[in-house]
Chains A and B, each alone.
Chain A
Amino acid sequence: MFDSVVGTLPAVTPPRRHASRLFFRHRLAALGLVVIVALVLSAAFAPWLSPYNPDDLDMANRYAPPLSAGHLLGSDDLGRDVLTRLMYAGQVSLSVGVAAMAVTVIVGFAIGAFAAYLGGWIDVALMRVTDTMLCFPSVFLLLFVAAFVTPSLASISLMIGLTCWMELARVIYGQIRVLRSADFVAAARMVGAPAWRIILRQILPNVMAPILVAATLNTANAILLESYISFLGYGIQPPQASWGNMLTNAQSDFLVDPWLALMPGLAITLAVTSFNFIGDGLRDALDPKMSRR
């Protein structure tokens, strides 16, 4: 019965299948990288690559479906070209994603590293704060803060970054606690190097792996968060376009012109999926315990 489904359980990794999974993951990660590069390039070179200007109105061809009337991905309620707007919105969404990730990585690393390295009451205090912050669902916190702060690219990136650093802090804390007692650290301490120097020069290079993985996964998450708060109206403000605020009227758009509501969502999904694939691939590549999974 159940046994025929279960069959025999995998124990030692069958070499052929293990390799197939690694290669497959690797291909997806590579694909993700290609997509991200494409998105970044199209966003960065939007002024040169886009078929129109983002504010060009084409009132004769409003709500045009894709592949029609000179609009590759259709046009919106004011006749503006969707492809163009997506590219320009990409600039915003991607920059917010990366900037927020930078904040997360810096804050998360700093807190986790100092807590782990210095120990004592600093350790306890910092980790207590981390644990407390983890109790708040990040969406709640983010919205709460976003509603009161004047939204700008910088402020939004900062807010998102400051609501997502806790997990990285915990991971770094765990890793560095182990490294703290390593010989090369003791050597540096004996020479009299100050704490921040040791952390930056000796310890940081050794925890690059989880940081890199966290960086990609956090960028993915930041893009999702930005899209949500912009959708609600607390993020990027029109007329500046982001993938999220292009969806603010999605509910009604679905009834009038589904493609219009579909495109930005697909763009977000594409970007986030790619970052996730890259992050996953990095995790596999950098994980010392490679024989598993």
Chain B
Amino acid sequence: MSGSGRLLAVEDLTVAFGPTKAVDRISFTLDAGETLGLVGESGCGKSTTAMALIRLLQGAETGGHAWFEGVDLVAVAEERMREIRGGAIGMIFQDPATALHPMIRVGDQVAETLRTHRRLGAKAARARTIELFRQVGVAAPEERLSVYPHEMSGGMCQRVIIAMAIACSPRLLLADEPTTALDVTVQAQILELLHSIARDGAMSMILITHDLGVVAGVTNRVAVMYAGVIVETAPTDRLFADPKHPYTQGLLRSIPRLDSGWDEDMPTIAGAVHDAHALPGCRFAPRCPLAAEVCREAPPLRSFGADHQAACWRAS
């Protein structure tokens, strides 16, 4: 499933808001055509990571490197970054209803991307927009061009947003909780849409979510984040089959199962996420059933087989 090479290489990416490190030296890679799931609870830093990649954060100090097509996204000049945003890297966000400008027709909003990055004229942009609408499953695309966001359903809005994000055929799509704000039935449709777009366009995708169920059918690999660090990364089926990190195990266990007994307690992970201060040692230790003396020292990512890494001293 990997394409012809490395698209994105993130090295020791750190994002700090004042003294707090929301993301603390994470590293991962993404190949062309690959879909990576970035999973974790709210506040673990996954959205911050994506925003940091296209430098949409302000008031944050970003350190480390993020190599993308020969350019370091962390350090590159703002003008070049603007070309990359929307052009080479697209991003979609969580709440489709508020992500579109309420006073501009949706067709114009999509066309704006095309005219900025591809310098298309009005007619060409219109034609391409219709094409994109068709591709994302917007019915009657010609009529939808002059519609305003408040006249569309949530699912329709998200389709338009996806169209906008892929308009210039970006090599990488960042999807930050794209289905969380949608109805369950629509969720599946949108996920399927994203999956097919990534597959057909040989586009890489980072799918950010707190819901492990979402990554199951869509991603090639998964990286699990906790309190600003990556605690485990593995090919998707291996992660589900044989999770090594106690946190991942806890996450998987806490997905309600149809075949669990009626009288059994639902498994949870005890405790709550601590503030993202630099806790010495393993950040998960306070809540970990396997915690021991050795966990006072922060564990590095250790290899557990082909392409499977986990940051835990006690994992086996």
The yes or no answer to B57 lying at the interface (CB within 8 A) is yes
Q: Compute how far the CA of A15 lies from the CA of B59 in the bound complex, rounded to whole angstroms.
A: 7
Say whether chain A's binding surface is mostly helix, strand, loop, or mixed: loop
Q: Judge whether B78 is part of the interface by a CB distance below 8 angstroms.
A: yes
Q: Does B260 contact A (CB under 8 A)?
A: no
Q: Check B58–A10 contact: CB distance below 8 A.
A: yes
For A8, what are the chain B residues with a Cβ–Cβ distance below 8 Å? 58, 78
Contact A11 B58 (CB under 8 A): yes
Contact residues, B41-71 vs A (CB, 8 A)? 56-60
A12 CB within 8 Å of chain B: yes
Are A12 and B18 in touch, CB under 8 angstroms? no
Complex Cα distance, B18 from A13, in Å, reads: 12
> Which of these, A11, A13, A14, contacts B56 with CB under 8 Å?
A11
How far does the alpha carbon of A190 sit from the alpha carbon of B194 in the complex, in Å?
A: 53
Contact of A15 among B18, B56, B57, B78 (CB under 8 A): B18
Most chain A CB within 10 A, of B17, B18, B58, is at B58
Near B by CB (< 8 A), chain A positions 10-38 give 10-17
Closest to B56 in A: A11
Could you tell me if A13 and B78 are in contact, using CB atoms closer than 8 angstroms?
Answer: no
- CA–CA, A12 to B55, complex, Å? 12
Q: Are B78 and A12 in contact (CB under 8 A)?
A: no
B59 CB contacts on chain A under 8 angstroms? 12-17
The docked-state distance in angstroms from the alpha carbon of A14 to that of B78 is 18
Q: Which residues of B contact A16 (CB under 8 A)?
A: 18, 59
Give the residue name and chain of the B residue nearest to A17 (CB). B59
Nearest-CB distance from A87 to chain B (Å)?
48
The residue on A at minimum CB distance from B60 is: A12
In the bound complex, CA of A11 to CA of B56 (Å)? 8
Q: How far is the CB of B135 from chain A (nearest CB, A)?
A: 30
Q: List A contacts of B17 (CB < 8 A).
A: 15
In the bound complex, how far is the Cα of B58 from the Cα of A8, in angstroms?
9
Give the distance in Å from the alpha carbon of A70 to the alpha carbon of B91 in the complex: 74
Q: How far is B60's CA from A8's CA once the two chains are assembled, in angstroms?
A: 13
Q: How large is the interface on B (under 10, 10 to 19, 20 to 34, 35 or more residues)?
A: under 10
CB distance from A15 to the nearest CB of B (A): 5
Most buried by B among A8, A10, A12, A13: A12
Bound complex: CA A200 to CA B18 (Å): 44
CA distance A16 to B19 in the complex (A): 11
A15 CA to B20 CA, complexed, in Å? 11
Q: How far is it, in angstroms, between the C-alpha of A10 and the C-alpha of B58 when the chains are bound?
A: 7
Q: How far is the CA of A17 from the CA of B59 in the complex (A)?
A: 9
Please measure, in the bound complex, the distance between the C-alpha atom of A36 and the C-alpha atom of B58, giving whole angstroms: 39
**Shortest CB distance B20–A (Å):** 9
Contact residues in B for A15 (Cβ distance below 8 Å) = 17-18, 59
Q: Given the complex, which residues of A lie within 8 Å of B78, measured CB to CB?
A: 8
B297–chain A nearest beta-carbon distance, Å = 31
Question: Cα distance A15–B17 when bound, in Å?
Answer: 8
Q: Output the least CB separation between B16 and chain A (Å).
A: 11
A16-B58 Cα distance, complex, nearest whole Å: 12
Query: B58 to chain A: which residues have CB within 8 Å?
Result: 8, 10-12, 14
A13 to B56, CA, bound (A): 13
Which residues of chain A are near B18, meaning CB under 8 Å? 15-16
Distance (whole angstroms) from the CB of A139 to the closest CB of chain B: 36
Q: In the complex the two chains form, what is the Cα distance from A10 to B57 in whole Å?
A: 9
Complex-state Cα separation, A11 to B18, whole angstroms? 16
Contacting A at CB under 8 A, from B7-58, are 17-18, 56-58
Q: State how many angstroms separate the Cβ of A3 from the closest Cβ of chain B.
A: 9
Q: How far is the CB of B59 from chain A (nearest CB, A)?
A: 3
Chain A residues near B57: list those with CB within 8 A: 11-12
CB distance from B56 to the nearest CB of A (A): 7
Instruction: Give the one of B17, B18, B59, B60 with max A CB within 10 A.
Output: B59
CA distance A17 to B18 in the complex (A): 12
List the A side residues contacting B56 at CB < 8 Å: 11
Q: How far is the CB of A174 from chain B (nearest CB, A)?
A: 22
CA distance A267 to B78 in the complex (A): 51
A15 CA to B22 CA in the complex, in Å?
14
> Contact flags (1/0) for A248-261 with B, using CB distance below 8 Å?
00000000000000
Give the nearest-CB partner of A19 in chain B. B18
Interchain nearest-CB distance for B314 vs A (Å): 37
Q: How far is the CB of A11 from chain B (nearest CB, A)?
A: 5
- Give the docked Cα–Cα distance between A15 and B78 (Å): 22
A261 to B273, CA, bound (A): 65
Query: Which residues of chain B have C-beta atoms less than 8 A from A12's C-beta?
Result: 57-60
For window 228-273 of A, CB contacts with B under 8 Å fall at: none
A235 to B78, CA, bound (A): 61
A15 to B58, CA, bound (A): 10
Q: Which residues of B contact A11 (CB under 8 A)?
A: 56-58
Question: Roughly how many angstroms separate A14 CA and B57 CA in the complex, as a whole number?
Answer: 10
- Give, as a whole number of angstroms, the nearest-CB distance from B76 to chain A: 14
Q: How far is the CB of B61 from chain A (nearest CB, A)?
A: 11
Can you give 19 A-B contacts (C-beta < 8 A)?
A: A8-B58, A8-B78, A10-B58, A11-B56, A11-B57, A11-B58, A12-B57, A12-B58, A12-B59, A12-B60, A13-B59, A14-B58, A14-B59, A15-B17, A15-B18, A15-B59, A16-B18, A16-B59, A17-B59
A residues with a Cβ closer than 8 A to B are 8, 10-17
Pick the 8 closest A-B CB pairs, nearest first. Answer: A14-B59, A11-B58, A15-B18, A12-B58, A12-B59, A15-B59, A10-B58, A14-B58
Residues of B at the A interface (CB closer than 8 Å) are 17-18, 56-60, 78
Other CB < 8 Å A-B pairs besides A10-B58, A12-B59, A17-B59, 7 of them? A11-B57, A11-B58, A12-B58, A12-B60, A14-B59, A15-B59, A16-B18
